[in-house]
Amino acid sequence: MSKQTNKQTYKICFCFRRRFPLTATEAPDEVKSLFDQYSENGAMSVDHLRRFLIEVQKESDLTVEDAQAIIDSLGHLHELRHLNIFARKCITIEAFFKYLFSDTNHPLPPARVHHDMSAPLSHYFIYTGHNSYLTGNQLSSACSDGPIRNALQRGVRVIELDIWPNSKKDNVEVLHGRTLTTPVELIKCLKSIKEHAFTASEYPVVITLEDHLTPDLQAKVAEMATQTFGDILFCPGSESLKEFPSPESLKKRIIISTKPPKEYLEAKEIKEKESDSQKGKALGDEQAWGREVSNLKGIPVANDKNDLDEDDNNEGEDLDDADPKSNQHAAPEYKRLITIHAGKPKGGLQDSFKVDPEKVRRLSLSEQQLEKAVQIHGKEIVRFTQRNILRVYPKGIRIDSSNYNPLIGWSHGAQMVAFNMQGHGRSLWLMHGMFRANGGCGYIKKPDFLLNTGPHNEVFDPNVILPVKKTLKVTVYMGEGWYHDFTHTHFDAFSPPDFYVRVGIAGVSADTIMKKTKTLEDNWVPDWNEKFEFPLTVPELALLRIEVHEYDMSEKDDFGGQTCLPVSELRSGIRAVPLHSIEGEKYKSVKLLMRFEFV
């Protein structure tokens, strides 16, 4: 392709002007070489294209008709319009490159559910929200059904509602208790859940209730839920289940999870562990795109100028303890709604992970409690989560609605790693990336090693470093689209941007790493052409992290896009990787051309 001759002008100090040439997007040398290898006399036929797609892209099931459809779809390109009918059965290097860099050449397979969905719920990672009704921070933001609607439309399958009596004690509101958050009526949240529950996925929605109600208001909740959801509400009765149902059997059903209700003691205030000073203290400033994700041992992956320390001293208590004596106070119609019983048994932490062969339950731990527990009870947690459900939630001092490293929970089999979905940052990007798998349905079958026991009843030990299972080779060729999606002075008022790429793995500790390309100065279409290798000991839990930043000598580097992709579903070959904003919204034009190879 020929170079463009037009130039872009930047003003400096209102007097001087700098002019930079705008070059057209041109195929990398490796793409040109592959085209030469799979073409003849500058033309790639249907057979050539099919051979390329099978041998390089590893699309073994591709037919001649599929290859022909790709060529037909490229027939509208300007470069092909002048060719005769015979030539249109082939494509040029320009068309070949445009196909590789097109939205149809995605790094993940077409969105469809392909995991076995007939196993018990405890066999799946489930897309889980925390305080799903909050519009912002944990202390003073408004409560609304809007964030619930947004989460469900993204594919989140677990919605958490904190339910409290209103000021007159005659109705039920949703709010973050003992804070300045403004409430929203429960009935409004329930109606939004019903309306949007299955827009993104037909698999079940779980409503986890943090209950602070009197028995008469519990009865009112039961009436609201029954009337709102009708036949789609799954009610197993008051007895605990011996095994959880499967996602397949619960398609388009709503299920309730909460602790066995206890009496609401109006005269007694529940004390928080955190002090007033801690309540007003954020974990740190998540400027621009957020702090770096720590690894499974709590150590930051990288220590560059964008990282921020995290205060880990104290946490708020999630009031999820069940008092067996409290069942006598419960409204029976409310108890019958509960499918997934929650609560912690009396005793120490080790007792919490005891498996009852006669019934299953849900256990909730804060991220900090989990971090401590995995150091001593790692294998017990894995065994517990083979039958029971473990929910992990953010610690109390995350008042800025930030999140934590979800891999700590997932590597130990935790199904409900609960996140604040209304925020942004690197941890949330991992959550988005994980649940792009399995067609984005919100349920991902856990790897077999987290579900199976050995011949001597042994289970997977997350603390043991395993041998490398496979190596992922990543080539970062180039990027484009910023010139179209951003104002031309967004990154730098005086010159084109200086982009670099961070690429790496989020996974078990042995696999977690981030690497970086060189910085290319003054270029809207950066052409890095750099290769990286990532040895993976547990590829089943690995996520490929990709970030683009613009280097700033004097200030914090500017954000240029990100994505996170499940390695287990990553397609081999040369792929166009679309990038997303800080909030996780896909850009219209910004994408990278990359190659993925598995050894």
The pLDDT averaged over each successive group of 10 residues in the chain (599 residues) is 52 60 81 96 95 96 91 67 55 94 95 97 98 96 97 98 96 95 97 98 97 94 97 85 96 93 42 39 43 63 37 35 49 91 83 93 96 94 98 95 96 98 94 98 98 92 94 98 94 92 97 97 96 98 98 91 98 98 96 97
Give residue 464's pLDDT: 92
Asked whether 190 and 163 are in contact (CB, 8 A), the reply is no
Residue type at 465?
I
Give residue 291's pLDDT: 72
Q: Is residue 479 part of a domain?
A: yes
Q: Is the dihedral of CA 91, 93, 94, 96 positive or negative?
A: positive
Give residue 240's pLDDT: 79
* Residue 132 DSSP label: T
Residues 6+ apart with CB under 8 A from 104: 70, 73
Q: Check whether residue 138 and residue 205 sit in a common domain.
A: yes
Asked whether 257 and 327 are in contact (CB, 8 A), the reply is no
Closest CA to 284 of 400, 187, 383: 400
Q: Is residue 538 part of a domain?
A: yes
Asked whether 319 and 396 are in contact (CB, 8 A), the reply is no
Give residue 554's pLDDT: 80
Q: Is residue 571 part of a domain?
A: yes
Rounded to whole angstroms, how far apart are CA atoms 467 and 94?
43
**Cross-strand partners of 211:** 163
**Cross-strand partners of 129:** 419
3-state secondary structure of 475: strand
Helix (H) or strand (E) holding 186: helix 186-196
* Residue 76 DSSP label: T
Q: Is residue 316 part of a domain?
A: no
Q: Is residue 441 part of a domain?
A: yes
**Residue 580 belongs to domain with CATH number:** 2.60.40.150
Give residue 308's pLDDT: 25
Q: How many angstroms from the chain centroid is the CA of residue 428? A: 6
Asked whether 154 and 421 are in contact (CB, 8 A), the reply is yes
Distance (Å) of CA 221 to CA 62, 115, 284, 335, 449: 53, 35, 38, 11, 40
336, 337, 340, 341 alpha-carbon torsion, rounded to 10°:
-50
Give residue 10's pLDDT: 57
Helices (H) and strands (E) in the chain, counts: 14, 21
Give residue 347's pLDDT: 79
Domain boundary among 450, 480, 497: 450
Q: Is residue 279 part of a domain?
A: no
Q: Check whether residue 352 and residue 446 sit in a common domain.
A: yes
Rounded to whole angstroms, how far apart are CA atoms 295 and 310?
13
Place of tokens 């100028």: 305
**Residue 173 belongs to domain with CATH number:** 3.20.20.190
Q: Check whether residue 128 and residue 60 sit in a common domain.
A: no
Residue type at 392?
V
Alpha helices in 4-131 (DSSP H): 29-37, 46-55, 64-73, 93-100
State the residue range of the domain holding 512: 465-598
Q: Check whether residue 429 and residue 471 sit in a common domain.
A: no
Helix (H) or strand (E) holding 470: strand 470-480
Total domains in the fold of the chain = 3
Rounded to whole angstroms, how far apart are CA atoms 147 and 136?
9
Q: How many angstroms from the chain centroid is the CA of residue 120? A: 22
Domain boundary among 450, 478, 501: 450
* Residue 143 DSSP label: B
The model carries a pTM of: 0.89
Q: Check whether residue 370 and residue 250 sit in a common domain.
A: yes
Domain boundary among 422, 450, 478: 450
Q: Check whether residue 422 and residue 523 sit in a common domain.
A: no
Distance (Å) of CA 83 to CA 78, 86, 95, 102, 531: 10, 8, 13, 22, 37
Q: Check whether residue 446 and residue 568 sit in a common domain.
A: no
**Cross-strand partners of 209:** 161, 258
Q: Is residue 311 part of a domain?
A: no
Q: Is residue 67 part of a domain?
A: yes
Q: Give me the DSSP letters along 270-296.
A: PPPSS-HHHHT--S----TT-PPPB-T
Q: Is the dihedral of CA 571, 573, 575, 579 positive or negative?
A: positive
Q: Check whether residue 75 and residue 158 sit in a common domain.
A: no
Q: Check whether residue 501 and residue 586 sit in a common domain.
A: yes
Q: Check whether residue 155 and residue 210 sit in a common domain.
A: yes
3-state secondary structure of 324: helix
Distance (Å) of CA 217 to CA 67, 222, 331, 337, 378: 62, 9, 9, 14, 39
Active-site positions? 130, 176
Q: Check whether residue 391 and residue 469 sit in a common domain.
A: no
Q: Check whether residue 133 and residue 67 sit in a common domain.
A: no
